[in-house]
Amino acid sequence: MADVETILTNSEEETSAAGERLAVRLKPGDVLLLHGDLGAGKTAFVRGLARGLGAPPDDVSSPTFTIIQEYRGRLTLYHVDLYRLQPIEVADLGLEELTAGEVVVAVEWAERWNERPAGAWEIRFEHQGENGRSIRLSEPGSRIPDPDHSTR
């Protein structure tokens, strides 16, 4: 089991830079499951992923209404936002087919995806004061305990 890495950031720019640093470690087929409250930094992190993958970061915005956005770089990045969907609607999206390509897929509100792949990155964002964020990364094969669903 890989270790969990915790990154502390103090601005949107630092959160984006954390995503950019992770991008160099990604390979085709990687899926990133992003968890966190509204405004926790998920989209800023994806903006950094795009920059790190060679896609224009200024094109990245929250796909809340479009559901899926595509950004082309050294690897194509699909940015998915499941916030407005119920799990039954998520099942109809066909995300499994999307993740089967030579792409990287970042999924916001991933807890709404019942069939999410077991070998995915788990990334949890938590507010730490006004501008601070705690970002916990676990590589594929690791699981970050979900504080809302502990198994005590």
Tens digit of each residue's pLDDT, the chain (152 residues): 356 899 999 999 999 999 999 999 999 999 999 999 998 999 999 999 999 999 988 888 877 677 899 999 999 999 999 998 988 888 888 888 888 778 999 999 999 998 888 889 999 999 998 889 999 999 886 555 454 443 32
In a domain, 66, yes or no: yes
User: Count of domains in the chain?
Assistant: 1
In a domain, 147, yes or no: no
In a domain, 2, yes or no: no
CA-atom Rg of the chain in angstroms:
14
**pLDDT at position 148:** 47
**pLDDT at position 143:** 53
Domain of residue 118 covers: 9-138
In a domain, 62, yes or no: yes
**pLDDT at position 97:** 84
In a domain, 98, yes or no: yes
Q: What's the CATH code of the domain at 107?
A: 3.40.50.300
In a domain, 151, yes or no: no
In a domain, 53, yes or no: yes
118: burial class by Cβ within 10 Å (0-12, 13-18, 19+)? Answer: exposed
**pLDDT at position 140:** 83
CA–CA separation, 122 and 42 (whole Å):
12
